[in-house]
């Protein structure tokens, strides 16, 4: 089982898409193990986007992600990163497949509604920015026996 980090960004919160996004995550068969409604701090944002620190768009990333409330989510499941990346869609909504979150709701590359870690390694790093181990809730859906061999 993999863990994946998803952040519903301020634009999706403002547009009232939180429930729709969570519904789509759950429908993939991924299991929610932690979730919280937060205001990302400047320190969290700087850690989160550290890999982009030298890029010209870095200040805008930090400014936007701290501009309003977000929903931080930890999910768990088989191939969680790949499933989530497919669900989220391409970074630029104009390139995102129909049926993906960004393909269906995205309007602008700078306001692309949701972040999902791009690798298992990055998921571990990003999850640690937003969650402690004590915040994860381990549970097993009764449907697992019907979904996995």
Please report whether residue 146 resides in a domain: no
pLDDT digits (tens, 9 = 90+) for 98-108: 999 999 999 99
Query: Interior CA angle at 91 toward 90 and 96, to 5°?
Result: 30
Q: What pLDDT is stored for residue 149 in this prediction?
A: 79
Please report whether residue 145 resides in a domain: no
Please report whether residue 78 resides in a domain: yes
Task: Residue 52: give the domain boundaries.
Answer: 2-135
State if pTM tops 0.75. Answer: yes
Please report whether residue 95 resides in a domain: yes
| Portion of the chain with pLDDT greater than 90, in percent | 90
- Domain CATH for 123: 3.30.70.141
Which residues are known catalytic residues?
Answer: 115
Give CA–CA dist 106/124, Å, rounded: 26
Edge-to-edge strand order for the sheet containing 69-77?
Answer: 31-39, 69-77, 2-8, 114-116
User: Model confidence at 141, in pLDDT bands (50, 70, 90)?
Assistant: confident
- Please, are residues 24 and 75 in contact by the beta-carbon 8 Å criterion? no
User: For the residues 80-87, what does the mean pLDDT come to?
Assistant: 97
- Please, are residues 117 and 111 in contact by the beta-carbon 8 Å criterion? no
- Please, are residues 113 and 11 in contact by the beta-carbon 8 Å criterion? yes
| Portion of the chain with pLDDT greater than 70, in percent | 100
Strand 2-8 relative to strand 69-77, pairing = antiparallel
- Please, are residues 89 and 97 in contact by the beta-carbon 8 Å criterion? yes
pLDDT digits (tens, 9 = 90+) for 120-139: 999 999 999 999 999 999 99
The pLDDT of residue 110 is above 90: no
Please report whether residue 128 resides in a domain: yes
Give CA–CA dist 42/12, Å, rounded: 19
The pLDDT of residue 147 is above 80: no
| Phi, psi angle pair for 75, to nearest 5° | -125, 165
pLDDT digits (tens, 9 = 90+) for 11-37: 999 999 999 999 999 999 999 999 999
């Amino acid at each position: 089982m993999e863990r994946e980090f998803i952040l519903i960004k301020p634009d999706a919160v403002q547009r009232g898409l939180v429930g729709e996004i969570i519904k789509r995550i759950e429908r993939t068969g991924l299991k929610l193990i932690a979730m919280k409604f937060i205001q990302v701090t400047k320190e969290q944002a700087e850690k989160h986007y550290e890999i982009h620190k030298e890029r010209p768009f870095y200040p805008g990333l930090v400014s936007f992600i701290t501009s309003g409330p977000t929903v931080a989510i930890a999910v768990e499941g088989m191939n969680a990163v790949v499933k989530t990346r497919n669900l989220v869609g391409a970074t630029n909504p104009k390139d995102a497949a129909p049926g993906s979150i960004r393909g269906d709701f995205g309007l602008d590359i700078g306001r692309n509604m949701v972040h999902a870690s791009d690798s298992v390694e990055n998921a571990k790093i990003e999850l640690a920015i937003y969650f402690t181990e004590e915040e994860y809730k381990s549970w097993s859906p009764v449907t697992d026996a019907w979904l996995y061999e």
